Structure 1
């Protein structure tokens, strides 16, 4: 490649519209989503809390899928009590990595806790019946 062809390619890239960029990103997202196997979960869609300053603004409820009236409640404000530790002199990439790892770990812990509560409820209130699964997406 010569300097002129490099410049021509750069100029051609700059002439793209934002819509073309969006369409390309959206096509890539759809392709990646289609490549993943569908993930299932026994966790029902949560009932989200009312907005602050309501006294229960932090309580997320997971209702029984069989609509028996039972619900597992999670306090969203107390879910993450563990401090996040950043490396001294770390870059923004290090901070991003640490936050992503911490969020992933907290998500795994929360999911395990909610699944355990749901399985315990089904064992006690609906013996012999498995919790229904739904698509996690």
Structure 2
């Protein structure tokens, strides 16, 4: 067991699942995966992280050309969002959660658009007529 006797007591109090219950859970997960929509495709290649903290450029995320020509688009992951976040006084935790979630989705869409535009511009200039390779987004 563990070195924490309180945790041992809690674990001992939990009911053990039967093999049938475990199988049913696995089957339910498999069926849910079959019904899930197919993953989206993206033209954004897998990122590289050329500099690690504490390097001054530690927040740089690099998206290289999928054809390996040496070109890459760099994004600063630590770049500040200059638009202020407005939270109402007396707002509930649900309101604050919603505001931050909406803001993160908005910022992600802007960053994704900037990366996709850079990739499209690169392919237009450096690889005219070539289709941009897509990969499964995760």
Which TM-score bucket, shorter chain as reference?
0.7 to 0.9
2:77 alignment counterpart = 76
Q: Which runs of 5+ in 2 are unaligned?
A: 1-12
- Runs of 4+ residues over 6 Å off in structure 1: none
Query: Structure 2 CA distance, aligned partners of 1:70 and 1:54?
Result: 22
How far the C-alpha of 1:114 sits from its partner, in A, is 0.2
1:59 alignment counterpart = 60
For residue 106 of structure 1, give the secondary structure of its aligned residue in structure 2.
helix
Q: Is the 8 A contact 1:49 1:58 kept in 2?
A: no
Query: Structure 1 CA distance, aligned partners of 2:127 and 2:34?
Result: 35
Query: Structure 2 CA distance, aligned partners of 1:30 and 1:17?
Result: 24
Aligned pairs (5 A) from 1:79-90: 80-90=81-91
2:97 alignment counterpart = 96
Inter-CA distance 71–82: structure 2 relative to 1 (3 Å threshold): same
1:112 alignment counterpart = 113
Aligned pairs (5 A) from 1:4-83: 15-16=14-15, 31=32, 34-78=35-79, 80-83=81-84
How far the C-alpha of 1:70 sits from its partner, in A, is 0.1
- Alignment root-mean-square deviation, CA: 2.8
Q: Which runs of 5+ in 1 are unaligned?
A: 1-13
Query: Structure 1 CA distance, aligned partners of 2:96 and 2:69?
Result: 44
For residue 129 of structure 1, give the secondary structure of its aligned residue in structure 2.
coil
1:131 alignment counterpart = 132
For residue 61 of structure 2, give the secondary structure of its aligned residue in structure 1.
strand
> Number of residue pairs matched?
121
How far the C-alpha of 1:50 sits from its partner, in A, is 3.0
